[in-house]
Amino acid sequence: MDIPYTVHARPDTGLYNAKIGIWLFLASEVMLFGGLFSAYIFLRVGADYPWPVHDLDVTLGFINTVVLIASSVTVVMAWACLKLRKFGWYRINMAITVLCAAVFMFNKTLEYKAKFAHYAVKLTDGTLLTGHLPHGYQIKFGDVTELELSVPVKNSAVTADPVGYVLPLIDGEAPKFKTEDGQEIALDSKSFASLAASALEKAKAANKGSASIKLVSATPLKFIAKPSEIFGYTATTLTFRDGTTATGKLTDDKMTLEVDGVDARGVAQSEKSLAFDHRYLGEEWQKAFVANRDHHIAKFEKDYPTRDKARSATLQKESLFFKLHSATPPAAGEAHGDKHGAEAHAPAEGGHGEAHGHHPTVVLEKKDITFFSNFTPKLNTYYAIYFTLTGLHGAHVVIGALVLAYFLCFDNKRLKQDPEHLANRVEVGGLFWHFVDLVWIFLFPLLYLL
């Protein structure tokens, strides 16, 4: 038995089933992206930090726009050629469409990759330093001889997991540990289970809420961890997410950053930003920053005498977000403003394929850093919505291209025997493709231009 109207339209509605289906699906997609666009507006209107403007590469975005619009044209051509039974041209147009999708995604990958390698560090006064972390950022904690594991008596979401979680953070081989009873053990899941069991028994007998296990290391340990991997630390203790505490000495929590930008929009008096502290960029960069700032303000006053300076996001960005293009301040010939040891020198060689040029390097102290992230959703709500929107859109591009590629490569039987049906399929796929294109046409100005 046949489901009616799979190929030919029903006379009174004028539609075949799949066409209704795709339009309904697109209505739902409109609500999906509508929700995200609304979220964008909500976040931007309510943002309590300077909303990033003109942060993205417009050229790349423009190329992608052209590529996607071209693919929308070719997909219609493919459909029309199929209707006219010009199979060769159908194949060519379809192949171009899929190729365009590949170019689009390639450009997207370039954009994403650069962002993942680029960092922003927020200082305590609100200054944002952007740049690269040539060595990454890790907390180094040494001289640990004692570990205290905490096992709750009552069932709990957080419980000690030394084997799966703590041991991998040790720098080098895990040594043998001595328990409180003087036994020497290699910490593995079996030995930990028996330790935990006996500790729990003791805690229950003493009517305590949680059992603790003390382990003494035979040789001093060193931990190296990303800040996100641990729960917190002081000068003498390191706390892990599973409640384990290590006692030892903090050896290094400084961050080495190759600075390529100083964003002082969040600072009340921009020239007094902590970035220009003598330990960091110093006076010479401060002078360059002030010169750049005043230059842009003067230019704005000249070009737009009637406009309110405080309300121009573009001016705020141009005057207060200072880009550093060389290792030394542009006022050439003068001595480095670093009498107090913060060497402004060329970045570490190697490791980064992209040409950063030469940037000054600063060694930031942990007490001056409130937050840092690479350019990922974590950085701020703009990048969060940017990645969500473009990521979801990219997923749609990939799925759409796969469907179209399927029609091109694996539907030859239908092409020969029932081209009308295949034309319907291409039409439905093409409608989806147009939608994907349309979403990008909204995304491009919203994220790149506004």
Give the ranges where 264-380 is alpha helix by DSSP (H): 282-303, 313-320
Coil, helix or strand at residue 25: helix
Strands 245-252 and 255-263: unpaired
Q: Which of residues 419-438 bind another protein (CB under 8 A)?
A: 421
> Which of 394, 385, 395, 375 lies closest to 447 in space, CA to CA?
385
> Which part of the chain contacts another protein (CB under 8 A), choosing from 76-84, 154-162, 209-217, 325-333?
154-162
Identity of the residue, 25 or 300, whose beta carbon is nearer to another protein in the bound complex? 25
Identity of the residue, 198 or 376, whose beta carbon is nearer to another protein in the bound complex? 376
Q: Which of residues 36-95 bind another protein (CB under 8 A)?
A: 36, 38-39, 42-43, 46-49
**What is the SS3 string spanning 155-166?**
CCCCCCCHHHHH
C-alpha to C-alpha distance for 322 and 358, rounded to whole angstroms = 15
Choosing from 106, 304, 371, 406, the residue that interacts with another protein (CB under 8 A) is: 371
Structure tokens at 153: 């008596």
What is the closest distance, in whole angstroms, from the C-beta atom of residue 35 to another protein in the complex?
4
What is the closest distance, in whole angstroms, from the C-beta atom of residue 114 to another protein in the complex?
18
- Number of residues engaging another protein in binding (CB under 8 A): 67
Chain length of the chain: 450
Q: Is 242 one of the binding residues for another protein (CB under 8 A)?
A: yes
Choosing from 377, 398, 442, 446, the residue that interacts with another protein (CB under 8 A) is: 377
C-alpha to C-alpha distance for 360 and 260, rounded to whole angstroms = 8
Signed CA dihedral, 28, 33, 36, 37: sign only: negative
What is the closest distance, in whole angstroms, from the C-beta atom of residue 227 to another protein in the complex?
7
Identity of the residue, 45 or 235, whose beta carbon is nearer to another protein in the bound complex? 45
What is the closest distance, in whole angstroms, from the C-beta atom of residue 103 to another protein in the complex?
27
Q: Which of residues 382-421 bind another protein (CB under 8 A)?
A: 383-385, 387-388, 392, 414, 417-418, 421
Coil, helix or strand at residue 6: coil
Tell me the longest C-alpha to C-alpha distance in the chain. Answer: 88
Q: Is 336 one of the binding residues for another protein (CB under 8 A)?
A: no
DSSP 46-74: T-SS----S-S-HHHHHHHHHHHHHHHHH
Partners of residue 141 on adjacent β-strands: 223, 250
Phi and psi at residue 77, in whole multiples of 5°?
-60, -40
What is the closest distance, in whole angstroms, from the C-beta atom of residue 379 to another protein in the complex?
6
Q: List residues binding another protein (CB under 8 A).
A: 1-7, 10, 13, 15-18, 20-21, 24-25, 27-29, 31-32, 34-36, 38-39, 42-43, 46-49, 122, 154-155, 157-158, 161, 164-165, 227-228, 231-232, 241-243, 370-371, 373, 376-381, 383-385, 387-388, 392, 414, 417-418, 421
